[in-house]
Each structure stands twice: as C-alpha cells, then as structure tokens.
Amino acid sequence: MISTAVQDEEIRVYWKPGCSNCVRLKEYVSKHGFAFTPVNVAADPAGFEVLEKLGAKGLPVLTRGDRYVFGMDLAMVDEILGIKTHRQALTVAQLVERATSVATKAVELGFQVPKERAEDGLPGRPLRTYGGLANHVIGHLRRLVLVCENPGESWAVVEDYAQAGYQSGTEDIPEPNRTPEDVAERCRDLRARANAWLASGEDASRPVEIYYGTVPLSQIIESNAYSIVQHTRQLQAVVTFLGYEPAAKLSKTDLQGLNLPTALWDEV
C-alpha cells in the first residue's frame, strides 16, 4: 500500500527524442495508470541540470519526489511506483536467440533501403538515418556480445558503453564507406560469438558494473534484446513507408516477452 504522501509526489520522466527505452518507459508508466510530467532534456536545459545533480548518467530516468531510478530497469520502476507486475521473463537463452534472429532480419530489411534515401533522418532523430538503422541494431548486438565476452570489465564510463555499439555519445559513429554487406558480415560474426558465449554456460547472474549501477548480466542482455527488436520494428516501418514489402517481417513470437511499447517513435 502506497502512503498518501508518496501518492502525492510528482512523477517525472526525463527523456530525449529518438530514445527507444524512453518510448517504452513513458508508455509503461501511462499503461499502469500514472500521470507524469515528461521532461525532454534535449529541449529543456533545466531538466538536464536536474539529471546532473542526481548523478544520473543516462536516459530514461524516472523521478518520484526526491527519488529516482534508471528507466531501463523495469523492476526498479515498479518499486518506485509501488506496483506489482507479473511479467514472464524470457530466459537468457531465449533472449540471445531473439536478439540474434531479429538482428538478422534487420540486416535483410537494411538491404531494402535504396541508396537515394539512405541519408534521410529518422523521426525525432535526424542524425540517425534510414540507411544507418540496421547498423544501429547490430551495434546493440555488439554491446551484448562484448559485455558477455568480457567478465570483470567495467562499463561505468558511459562513453565506453556507447562506443561498444558503434556510437560516439548519443549518435552513431559516421562510417562513410560502410555498406549493407559490411553490416551483414558484422551480424554473422556477432551472431556466432553470441551463440558461442551461450554454449559456454556462463552464469548470466554475474554482476556487471555499468554506468547506471551494478546489475546482473541478464539485465544487460534483456535491455539490448529489447532495443534490437524495437529498432527493427522501426526499420520495418521505414521499409513499408518507402513503398516496399518488408523482406523479413517480425512475427508475434519475435515481439513476445520484451515489454514492447505500442509506439514506434515518440508519440507518448
């Protein structure tokens, strides 16, 4: 039972355009019946200053009164909201299989983006392009693999974690000579490495130091699997918008168990 004092505390969600985890958090809070104040830190310097004072190094962030949690950890979101949910978590094996199989579909969809539209910017994220979206998906797979392959390594520096996904800060690293064939080769290599790690039988409950705290490895795997599926949903929508029948459609099975939002972009 939440006390009246806690019920009256204002809930805020700090987010930025183009952030797939921000879309999920905003919709998750709304679906559970909570009103909240959205704060777009890209447009509100005061909101960014609040995050700096809190010591929050990434987005999304949910605050309630003087407490905050990083919004990628839905269990912590449940705790600060004072709710109990009955999510059926996917196993680590299911998450890795989902991440690798959907990333392969993203590669197929990436081949369908015509060269003359490859530099078009995504809604709310003009520096991320139609042509770069498949590689962004593969970046999430690379993050997953590198964290799995390197027990004991710290990812407390957010820039290091960003670069593991072919990013510099919050934007993709420019690769002028990258081709869809290059992205496909990256995917094949990372898929083999992910499956090799899974076959090793390593304990996925081991703690990992990451920029928003110390969490089980399984949470990082889940977070990147979610992002892989959400961004592939976006890429499928782009291909459809461009007038093509998607070469690799996501199935209901691909979407299950990851707490995906209804929204693709920043409608919430």
Domain boundary among 51, 81, 111: 81
pLDDT at 268: 45
Which has more pLDDT, 72 or 208?
Answer: 208
Asked if 215 and 106 sit in the same domain, the reply is yes
Mean pLDDT computed over 131-160 = 96
Asked if 119 and 197 sit in the same domain, the reply is yes
CATH of the domain at 129: 1.20.120.450
Asked if 28 and 130 sit in the same domain, the reply is no
Asked if 97 and 186 sit in the same domain, the reply is yes
Mean pLDDT computed over 3-12 = 63
Asked if 187 and 248 sit in the same domain, the reply is yes
Asked if 140 and 23 sit in the same domain, the reply is no
Domain count, the chain: 2
Asked if 146 and 246 sit in the same domain, the reply is yes
pLDDT tens string 91-136: 999 999 999 999 999 999 999 999 999 999 998 787 889 999 999 9
pLDDT tens string 216-249: 999 999 999 999 999 999 999 999 999 999 999 9
Asked if 193 and 235 sit in the same domain, the reply is yes
* Collapsed DSSP state (helix, strand, coil) of residue 244: coil
Q: Would you say the pTM of this structure is higher than 0.85?
A: yes
Residue 87 scores a pLDDT above 80 = no
Residue 146 scores a pLDDT above 90 = yes
Does residue 261 lie in a domain region? no
Asked if 24 and 60 sit in the same domain, the reply is yes
Mean pLDDT computed over 72-85 = 87
Residue 201 scores a pLDDT above 80 = yes
φ, ψ (nearest 5 deg) of residue 148: -65, -40
Coarse DSSP helix, strand, coil percentages of the chain, rounded to the nearest 5 percent: 50, 15, 40
Which has more pLDDT, 144 or 9?
Answer: 144
Residue span of the structural domain in which 121 resides: 92-255
> 171 CB contacts (<8 Å, ≥6 apart)?
127, 128
Cβ atoms within 10 A of the Cβ of 252, count? 6
Residue 14 scores a pLDDT above 70 = yes
Mean pLDDT computed over 47-60 = 85
pLDDT at 171: 87
